[in-house]
Structure 1
Amino acid sequence: MTRLLGRLGGWCARHGWIVLITWVIAAGALMGSSLAFPSPTNSDASIPGTDAQRAHDLMKEGFGPGYAGGGTVQLLLYSADGPLIEDARKRAVERAMDELRTMPHVTKVETPFRAGGISSNLQIGLITIRLEGNDSDKIAQTTQELSKAADPAREAGLEVVPADSSTPADKEIKTGPSEIIGIVCALLVLVFAFGTLVAATVPIFAALVSVASGLGVIGLLGWVVDMPKQAGIMATMIGLGVGIDYALFLLSRHRRLLAEGVPVAESVRRTVASSGGAVVFAGGTVIIALSALLLAGFPLLATLGWVTGISVVAAVLTSVTLVPALLGLLGHRINSLKVPLLRGAGGSHAAGSGWAGLGAWVARRPWRTLIGSVVVLGALAAPALALQLGPLDEGYGTQGSESRRAYELMATGFGPGFNGPLIVVAELPAKVPDADAPIVDDLVREVKAVDGVKYVADPKLNTSGRSVLLQAIPEYAPSDQRSAQVVRDVRAISLPGVEVHVGGKVAGLTDAGDRMNERTPLVIGVVVLLSALLLLLAFRAPIVAIKAAVMNLVSLGAAFGALAMVFSIGLGSGLVGMDPPVNSSYVQTIFFSVPIESYVPLMLFAVLFGLSMDYEVFLLTAVRQSYLRHGDNARAVAEGLGSTGRVITSAALIMVAVFVAFIAYPDAMVKTFGVGLAVAIAVDATIIRGFLVPATMVLLGRLNWWCPRWLDRILPNLSVEGHEEDEPPAVRREEPVTAGV
C-alpha cells in the first residue's frame, strides 16, 4: 500500500495543476448541482417491524383525510384580552376558518368552539385542519400558507401560531456562522503550529474542497434515497475536522523532510507513502465504525452513519491527492509569509522538545502516571451513570420560535400531554356496524383506565369496520419518561381477539429507544472487534490492538460523562444555549436538565471511536519506528511522544475548535454532538495519549510488540506507514520477523 500511495503522491506532485483544477471543478460541479437542484429531505424516524409502524400503516386504511398520509395541521389561537367566545373574536375566528376551507388540499376544518377544542379559561383555542393530496415533503410550507390564511383572526387582535408535531431533530438544519467560526479557529491553530500563513492555508483549502465535494454527493443522493435533514450538518462537522487533521499530518511530515534537505518531489512521495498510509488507515477505521450503524436496525441512524462516512472518504481522497498536488506546486514556498514572533513547528521534532520531556517523565514514573490518569478519567466518566435518554420535544426548542410558542400555549391551555397524543389503532376480531359497538366501548374503557391517560377522544371506525382509531392524551409531556410507560401500558391492554397498536410521536420514539437498547451491544462489539483487527493487521501486535480499543472506550466514558453533566444533570445546559422553560428563575436558566435522544449515544460512539483511533495510529507508528531503531522500549515511548505530541495536539485543538463552534447551533442534537466530540477529543489527545498510553506501554515493555508465531504466519503483511523507506538498509535488516511496520 505504501508503494502505491508513494507513486500516487509523486504523480500528483508532478501534475499539480491538473489535480488542483480537477478537484476544484468536481467540487464546484457537485456542490452547484446540489444547490441548483435541492433534493427533498425526510427525517422519518419510523422503524420497520415496530408496533408504532404497524399503527401508522393501519391509519392509512380507510380512516379518511388527515390519516391516509395527507396530514393534519393545527393552529393555536390565543386571546390575551378576553375569552375567544366574545362575539367579535368569534366572528373573526369563523372568517379565518372560512378562508382556510378555500385553501388547496384542505378537506375539513374543525372549529375550536367544540369539546376539547378550547381551554377551560376560554382564551386558547385549537383549529384542526385535515389535508389530503398534498406533498408530505412540503408540509412546513403548507403549514405557513395555512397560517397566513388565518390573518382575519390576527386582525382582530388574536395570536395565531401553527402547532408543530415534529421534534427538534426533524427541523431542517442550515449552515451558518458555526462553520466560519470553526474554520477561523482552525486557521489560528495552524498559524501557531506552522508559523507561516501559506502552510496554514493548505489544510483549510483541502478541507473546504473535500467538504464541498462530500456535501454535493450527499445532496444528489437525496434524490434516490431518503436523506435526513441532519445529514448535511453532520457531514460538515466531521468532514471539516478530519479534513483539516489529515492534511495537517501530511504537511507536518513534508515540512520536516524539507528541513532535512530532502528535495520537494521526493519529500512529497515519502510523505504520501508514509503518513498517507496512516491517513488511509485512520479514515478506514472511522468509516468502519460508522458503517456498523447499519446494524442498529434504525434506518435514520444508519443513513446518518453512511452519509457521514462520505465526508470522511472525501477527506481521505483529498489528503492523498489534492494535498500532494498543492505541496508540489508550492515547493519551498510552503514556508513563505512567516508570522513574526511565531517559530512554528518547522518540521523539527527533536528529543529535547517539551513532549519528549513529558514522555521521559512518564517513562520514569509509569505506575504513578497510570494510577493518576485512571483516577482523573474515572472522575470524568462517573457522571455518565446519570445519563438520561429520552425524546426531545418543542419545550426545548429555541425561545421565541413559533414551535416553542405553540408548545407552551398547548401545554397551558390543554395540558402537556396534548403535545404528544397517542394514536391507538386496534384491529378487531370481526366487522362491527359502528363505533358504538360493545367491543369498541370496552376498548375505550380500557384505554381510559390506563394510569397516566388524561383524555380519550371519541373512537373512529374505518370503512371496513375491522379497525378502530382513537386518540389518547397522556398526562405527561412527550419528553417525560413516564409517557413511554403509558405507551407500553396501552399496548398491554388485553381484549379477546383485539390487537392494540399505539402510534404517534411518543410511541415511535419509545420504539426507537427500545431498539437502540437491544442493538447497542451488537454495534459496540462489531466496532471494537473490527477496529482491533485492523490494528492487529497493521502492527502485528495483539496486546497493542486490544489496548488501543480499551483506550478508545475510556475516552468515550469521559465524553458521556460530560454529556450527562451538561444535559442530564443540567450543570451548564443554559451556558451551551439551551433555552429553559418560561418564567424560570436565574438558577434554572443556567442549570436545567435536557433529555438526550436515544440514538445519539450510539452514533457518538461510532464517530468518536473512529476519530480516537487516528491519534492512536500516529502515536503507535512513531513509537514503533523508534523501537525498531534501538530496541529500548522506554526511550521509544519518549521519542514517539516527542515526535507526534505537537502535531497531535494541534490536530486535537483544531477538532475541538470545530466541534465547539457547532455548539452555537440552535438544534439540541447538534449541541449534544458538539459537546461530546469536543470533550472526548480533548481528553483523548491530552490525558490518554499524553499520559495513559505512554505509561501502559512503558509497563508492558517488549510485550507491546509480542506476537505468537502461529498468528504471525497467518497475518498478511500490512504496513500502515512506510518508515522503512527512510531508514538505512542496516536498520531494516535488524527488524524482527514479527514486525509489520
Structure 2
Amino acid sequence: MFTTLGRWCARRPRRTVAAWLLLLTAALAAVGALGKVTSESVSIPGSDSQAARDLGAVFHDSPSGRQPVLLHTAAGAAALTAPDVRAAVERAAQAVARVDHVVAVTTPYDPAGRSALSADGHTGYLAVELDVTARDITAEITRAVTAAAAPAGAAGVEVTPGGALAAAVDKGSTGRSEAVGLVAALVVLTVTFGSLVAAGLPLLFGALGLGIALPAIGLLGHVVDMPSSGATIAAMIGLGVGIDYTLFCLTRFRELRAAGVGVEDAAVRTMAGSGKAVAFAGSAVVAALAGLALGGLPLLYALAIAPGIAVLVAMAAALTLLPAVLALLGRRLTPKAAPAPAAGPRGWGRVAAYVAARPWRCLAGGLALLGVLAAPAAGLTFGQLDAGSDRTGSASRTAYDRMAAAFGPGANGTLQVLDVLRTPAAGPSDGRLTALTAALRATPGVAAVGPVQVSADGRYARWQITPATAPADPATVALVHRLRTDTLPAAAADGGTAHVGGAPAAQADLNDRLARRMPLVVGFVLVVAGLLLLLAFRSPVVAAKAALMNLLSVAAAYGVLTAVFQRGHGARLIGLEGAVAIPGYVPLLLFAVLFGLSMDYEVFLLTAVRTAFLRGGDNRRAVVAGLAGTGRIITSAALIMVSVFLGYVLSDDPVVKMFGVGLAVAVALDATVVRGVLVPASMVLLGRANWWLPGWLDRLLPHVDIEGDGHDGTPEEPPGTAVAGALPAAADAL
C-alpha cells in the first residue's frame, strides 16, 4: 500500500503539489470568510454546576451574561458620583447601548446596578448584555464598546473591559513562539545537512501543516467549544511532528541516494519503509489522544481533536506530498559524499559500551535522577486559573485587580444558587426564601448574597453569592462543597432541589471529574501503547518495560510542573509573577501527548536493537549497536522538538507555558536518560528474555515489519547506519 501510494505521488509530483496548495488556499479562505472561534466556557454534563446553568435559562438572561466594563478614577480625582462625571458616564452608557449586538446596559446609578459602585465611589462598572454568547464576543465588539465609552474617558474616567470582553482583546498570537522554534530548528538542520534546501524542507512541511490544521481547528470552533489553548497545543505538536516526520523520511531518502538508488525509486522506498513508520507513529499519537474521550468532557474532546488534526495533517503530508517533492528536488537533496566511518566508538557508541558494561549502576543512577525530579509530583493538586494569573497590563488583569480592590476578591468569580421549588413561591418576600437567604449569608466564606430572583411561574429561585476569596483560591472550592453538602440540604426552600453554579463551581466540578476519570484514561493509554509495541516487536517484556519507562519520563515532567508552577520555583524565569494553579486537564492531556510522542523514540531504538539481534543473536552486542547507531539521531531530533516546545514559554498564557515546559522536559529526559540509559541497561540485564514470546501468542499476532521497505525481502537498516554520522540531527525514528 505504501509503495503504491508513494509511486503514484512520485510520478505525478506537480499534480500532488497543486492539490496540497489548493487545500491550503481553501483552508485559509474559509477561515478568512467565516472567522475562527474560541471559547473558554466549560460544559460538564451531569454535574451540579451544569444543572444550575441549564435551569438558569428560565430567567431569560442574555446569551452573553452581564459583561463588566470597569470605570475607575484615581484617588484624589473626582469620584464617579460627582455630577459632571456621572453625566459623562451616563452618556457613555447610552452610546454603548447603541453598539451593534448590545441589548442592555446597566449603570452603577441604576437601582438594579447599585452594587456595581464601590464604597469610595472611585470604582464601578457598566453591566453590558449582548445578543451573542460569550464565545462569540470578538475583539471588534470589545473595541466598539470601549470606543463608545469615550465620553467617560474624556471626563477623566479610566475605562477597561472585563470578563469575556477583555478576553477577546487579550487573545495573543503565538507567532513569536513559533518563529523562535523554527529558527532554532533551522540552525540544527542547517548544521546537520549542510544544505539550506535540505534544511528548509522539514520547516516548509511543518509550516504547511500548521497552515492547514490551524484554520481547520478555528472553523471547528463554530461547532464545539474550542478553548484558545487548543489551537496553541495543536501548533506545538503539529510543528514538532511535522518537522520530525519529514526529517525522518528525508534522512532515509538521502541515504538511498548516497547508495546510488535513483530518485523515483528512492522516494518510493522511503515511503514504503520510513513512510510506513510515520503512519505507525502518527496513529500511535492519535490513539493516545483518543483515550481522552474516556474523560467524558467536551473540553477534553476539543483538546484531543485539535492536536489530533495537526498530527493527521502532518502524517498525510509526509505520506503524499513529500514523495512528490522528493521527486522534484531529488538531485538537489542528494548528499555530495558520505563521511568515512570513524576508526573506533565515539559519542553514543562509548555511552552504549559504558552502559552495557555497568548496567546495574546506570539503571540505579537513571532511576534516582528521575525519582528526584518526579518527587514534587506527589504534591500535585488540580486547581483553577483566573485573570489574576494573566499578564500585568492586560485588560483582563487590570479589570480583575480593580474589581478585587473595590468589591473584594470574590467579585471576580461569583456563584449562583438555583433552587427548584416543589411549591411555587409567592414572591421574593416568601418566608421560605427569606430563611434560605439568611442561611446563605451565615455560611462561612460568603461575603455577600444578592437579592433573590423568582421566576415568573414561581417555581425557581436564584441567588448570586459573592465569595470572600478569589476564584482560584482553594477556599472558594471549599465554599462550593460547603454550600452543597451543608447549607443547602439543611435549608433548601420547601425541600426543593438546589444547585450551585458559576465559574468557580464549574471549575471545581471539572477537576473532580478529571480526578475520577484519570485512572481510566491512564489505563487505556497504557494498554494501547503496550499493544502497539507488542504488535511491532512481538515481545511482551519489551512492551511492558516500554510502558513503564514512559511512565517514568511523564512522572518527572509532572514533578517539574509542580515545582515550577504550583510551588513557584523559578516561575519568574519563565515570565510568571509567582506560583499559579495547574488546571486538571493539563496533566491529563500531557500524559496522552507524551505517551504518543515517546513511542517515536522507543520504536526507533528498539527497531535498531532488534535488527542487530536478529542478525547476530547476541543481545548485549545488539543493545550496544542499536544505541550507538541511533543515540545521536534521537538526541539531536529531540533538540529540535525541545526548541519548538520551549519557544512557547514566551507566551503570556500560563497554560501554554505549562505545556511548553512539560513537553520540553519530558522529551529531553525521554531522549537522554530513558532511551540512552534506562532502556539499554534494562535490556542488557534481561538478556534473551527481551525477545521471549509464548507460542500461542506467536500464532495469534500478525507479522508487522515496521521498518521494512520490501526491497529484496530484507528489513530496512535503521536510519543513520548506511551513512554513519552523516546526519547527527536527523529525525526521531517515528
- What corresponds to 1:77 in structure 2? 71
Residue number among 70, 74, 94 corresponding to 2:90 in the alignment: 94
Corresponding residue number in structure 2 for 1:714: 700
2:561 matches 1:563 = yes
* Counterpart amino acid of residue 83 in structure 2: D
For the residues of structure 1 that align with 2:170 and 2:504, how far apart are their CA atoms?
Answer: 17
1:27-106 equivalences in 2 (<5 Å): 27-61=24-58, 63-64=59-60, 67-80=61-74, 81-82=76-77, 83-103=79-99, 105-106=102-103
Aligned to 2:724: none
In structure 1, which of residues 477, 487, 491 is the aligned counterpart of residue 470 of structure 2? 477
- Counterpart CA distance in 1 for 2:251 and 2:317 is 16
> Could you say what secondary structure the match of 1:384 adopts?
helix
Q: Is the 8 A contact 1:528 1:549 kept in 2?
A: yes
> How many Å separate the matches in 2 of 1:675 and 1:350?
39
- 1:610 equivalent among 596, 600, 603: 596
Quote the Cα distance in structure 2 between the aligned partners of 1:8 and 1:357: 40
- Rounded to whole Å, the distance in 1 between the matches of 2:479 and 2:265 is 68
CA RMSD of aligned residues (A): 2.5
**Superposition map of 1:213-362 within 5 A:** 213-335=212-334, 352-362=345-355
Once the 2 structures are TM-superposed, how far is the Cα of residue 310 of structure 1 from its aligned partner? Answer: 1.1
One-letter identity of the residue aligned with 1:441: T
Superposition deviation, residue 273 in structure 1 = 2.0
- Aligned pair in 2 of structure 1 residues 70, 254: CA closer, same or farther (>3 Å)? closer
Q: 1:534 aligns with which of 532, 535, 555?
A: 532
Q: SS at 1:25's partner residue? A: helix
- Could you list the per-position Cα deviations for residues 500-544 of structure 1 after superposition, in whole angstroms to 9, with x for gaps in the alignment? 111111011111101101111111111110111111111110011
Aligned to 2:730: none
Residues 94, 310 of structure 1: CA spacing in aligned structure 2 closer, same or farther, 3 A cutoff? Answer: closer
User: For 1:559, what is the secondary structure of its paired residue?
Assistant: helix
**Residue 89 of structure 1, CA deviation:** 2.5
Relative distance call for 1:84 and 1:223 in structure 2 (3 A) is closer
The CA distance in 2 between the partners of 1:665 and 1:134, in whole Å, is 26
* Residue equivalent to 1:10: 7
* Alpha-carbon contact 2:356-2:624 (below 8 Å) kept: yes
2:659 alignment partner in structure 1: 673
Compared CA separation, residues 277 and 510, structure 1 to 2 (3 A) = same
- Contact 1:419 / 1:478 at 8 angstroms: preserved in 2? yes
SS at match of 2:104: strand
Instruction: Tell me by how many angstroms 1:564 deviates.
Output: 1.1
Deviation at 1:575, TM superposition (A): 1.5
Aligned to 2:431: 438
* 1:387 matches 2:380: yes
The count of aligned residue pairs is 706
Give the alignment's TM-score, normalised by structure 2.
0.91
Aligned twin of 1:487: 480
CA distance in 1, matches of 2:419, 2:64: 21
The match for 1:589 is: none
SS at match of 2:116: coil
Q: Between the two proteins, what is the percent identity of the paired residues?
A: 45
Residue matched to 2:186: 187
Whether the aligned pair in 1 keeps the contact of 2:273 and 2:708 (CA below 8 Å) is yes
Aligned to 1:594: 580
How far residue 119 of structure 1 moved from its aligned partner, in angstroms, is 2.1
Alignment check: 8 A CA contact 1:100 1:109 kept: no
Q: CA deviation at 1:294?
A: 1.1
For the 8 Å contact 2:170–2:395, the answer to whether it is kept is no
Measure how far apart 1:425 and its partner are.
1.0
Q: Secondary structure at the match of 1:116?
A: helix
With 227-236 and 659-668 compared, the bigger mean Cα shift is at 227-236
* Cα deviation, residue 576, structure 1: 1.1
- 1:568 counterpart letter in structure 2: Q
Q: 1:704 to 1:167 in 2, by over 3 A?
A: farther
Does structure 1 residue 453 correspond to structure 2 residue 446?
A: yes
| Counterpart amino acid of residue 324 in structure 2 | A
Secondary structure class of the residue paired with 2:45: coil
Q: Which residue of 2 aligns with 1:522?
A: 520
Q: Alignment partner of 2:498: what SS?
A: strand
**CA-CA distance at 1:694 after TM superposition:** 0.7
Structure 2 CA distance for aligned equivalents of residues 68 and 374 of structure 1: 56
Cα gap change, 1:167 to 1:623, in 2 (>3 Å): farther
Structure 1 residue 351 displacement after superposition:
7.4
* Greater mean alpha carbon deviation, residues 185-194 or residues 13-22: 13-22
| Residue 571 (structure 2) aligned to one of 561, 573, 592 | 573
> What's 2:728 paired with?
none
Structure 1 residues 468 and 167, CA gap change in structure 2 (3 angstroms): farther
State the alpha-carbon separation in 1 of the partners of residues 462 and 54 from structure 2: 12
- Counterpart code for 2:38: T
CA contact 1:541–1:706 (8 Å) conserved in 2? yes
In structure 2, what is the equivalent of residue 423 of structure 1? 416
Aligned equivalent of 1:408, options 376, 379, 401: 401
Quick one: which amino acid aligns to residue 39 of structure 2?
Answer: N
User: In the alignment, is the contact (CA less than 8 A) between 2:142 and 2:169 conserved in 1?
Assistant: no
1:349 and 1:382 map into 2 onto residues whose CA distance is 41
Deviations 1:467-488 (A, max 9, x none): 1111111111011111111111
Instruction: State whether residues 538 and 701 of structure 2, in contact with CA within 8 Å, keep that contact through their aligned partners in structure 1.
Output: yes
Q: Which moved more, 1:201-210 or 1:417-426?
A: 201-210
Q: Secondary structure at the match of 2:382?
A: coil
Determine the structure 2 residue equivalent to 1:736.
Answer: none
| Matched residue, 1:499 | 497
Asked if the contact 2:174/2:648 (under 8 Å) is kept, the reply is: no
Q: Counterparts of 2:609 and 2:400 in 1: how far apart (Å)?
A: 56
Distance 1:331 1:142, change over 3 A: closer
SS at match of 1:230: helix
Are the equivalent residues in 2 in contact too, given 1:257–1:347 (CA < 8 A)? no
* CA drift at 1:112: 4.6
Contact 2:348 2:631 in 1 (8 A): yes
Aligned partner of 2:721 in structure 1 is none
Gaps of 5+ in 2: 718-734
Question: How far does residue 110 in structure 1 lie from its aligned partner after superposition?
Answer: 3.7
Q: Which moved more, 1:663-672 or 1:121-130?
A: 121-130
> For residues 14-25 of structure 1, what are the structure 2 equivalents within 5 Å?
14-25=11-22
- Residue in structure 2 matched with residue 655 of structure 1 by the alignment: 641
Aligned to 1:688: 674
Q: Mean Cα displacement is larger for which, 690-699 or 69-78?
A: 69-78
Alignment of 1:196-211 (within 5 A): 196-211=195-210
In structure 1, list runs of 5 or more residues that go unmatched: 581-591, 732-741
Shift of 1:601: 0.8
